[in-house]
Homo-oligomer: A and B are copies of this chain.
């Protein structure tokens, strides 16, 4: 398939949409993003890669980091996670406390904020002071690229504006579902949100999810085949907050979005995809990024269904 042509066609189609939507503004570093930016990268398991737009311009991956955090947790803790974080779609915004209170502090899934905070707690317990560098190291290893970094000023901003995340963590702590002190757990969590990468790096970092957990270029096993299937299932049912059903319905690929404007998607056995455009739709997902992926599945015919 001529993926270069497909990317060009997508680029043409989405150009009129650039600038629609709203850039996240709750922290300064995100608010400064240019709503006209766009990038898309394909990393095939056969080693080929295709890029269009600003594919070497880093951005804040935000919630996309939740995928890597859960990969690590799944390898380390396996089934024992399930008493603390469930795997069901939430049907609610990413940071709602309502469901969490009704369900006694057990988050619906690891891709909404409270779920990722519990995962951060588990990784903090396991790695202690090394939790943050360990998570960063895992992503760097997946991307085969030591240049991926955390952005301290973003981590700091999340801290000072993250009242709702403090509310979530304290509520879960009141139910006994946070072991470490809230400050340490959120420190880990906020640093994960602050990871910066560009689409070329992100596509590279997730290609193992299209290849049963093994990096097709280096042959390093990042995740078991069984766990890879589960990560993909979770991305399909829970990857886009309260628009997960619509993403599955329209695009039909496992994916995960971040409020920074990035989205990753997986075509099992074929490739990983990363797309970036910072202006968001009303569900908090990249407006142009979602559209680009919808066009991609239409033009390529790739879908899991």
- Determine the distance from Cα of A108 to Cα of B166 in the docked complex, in whole angstroms: 22
A174 touches B170 (CB 8 A): no
What B residues does A167 contact at CB under 8 A?
97, 166-171, 174
| Mask: chain A, 267-305; 1 = CB below 8 Å from B; 0 = not | 010000000000000000000000000000000000111
Most buried by B among A91, A101, A304, A305: A305
- A25 within 8 Å of B by Cβ? no
Q: Which residue of B lies closest to A268 (CB)?
A: B305
- A261 within 8 Å of B by Cβ? no
- Determine the distance from Cα of A99 to Cα of B167 in the docked complex, in whole angstroms: 14
B88 touches A254 (CB 8 A): no
With A90-B91, A249-B233: A97-B97 Cβ-Cβ less than 8 Å: yes
What B residues does A216 contact at CB under 8 A?
none
CB of A290, distance to nearest CB on chain B (Å): 14
CB of A142, distance to nearest CB on chain B (Å): 18
Residue among B169, B234, B305 making CB contact with A233, cutoff 8 Å: B305
- A129 within 8 Å of B by Cβ? no
CB of A252, distance to nearest CB on chain B (Å): 5
Residue among B96, B169, B234 making CB contact with A249, cutoff 8 Å: B234
CB of A206, distance to nearest CB on chain B (Å): 14
What B residues does A126 contact at CB under 8 A?
none
CB of A192, distance to nearest CB on chain B (Å): 20
- A236 within 8 Å of B by Cβ? yes
A305 touches B305 (CB 8 A): no
Contacts A109-B245, A229-B303 supplied; 13 other A-B pairs, CB < 8 Å: A87-B249, A88-B89, A88-B243, A89-B91, A91-B91, A97-B171, A98-B101, A163-B170, A167-B167, A167-B174, A232-B305, A233-B245, A234-B245
12 A-B pairs with CB atoms under 8 Å apart are A88-B91, A88-B245, A91-B91, A91-B108, A97-B167, A97-B171, A108-B245, A109-B245, A170-B170, A228-B305, A234-B245, A237-B249
Interface on A for B, CB 8 Å cutoff?
86-92, 96-99, 101-102, 108-109, 163-164, 166-171, 173-174, 182, 228-230, 232-234, 236-238, 242-246, 248-250, 252, 254, 268, 303-305
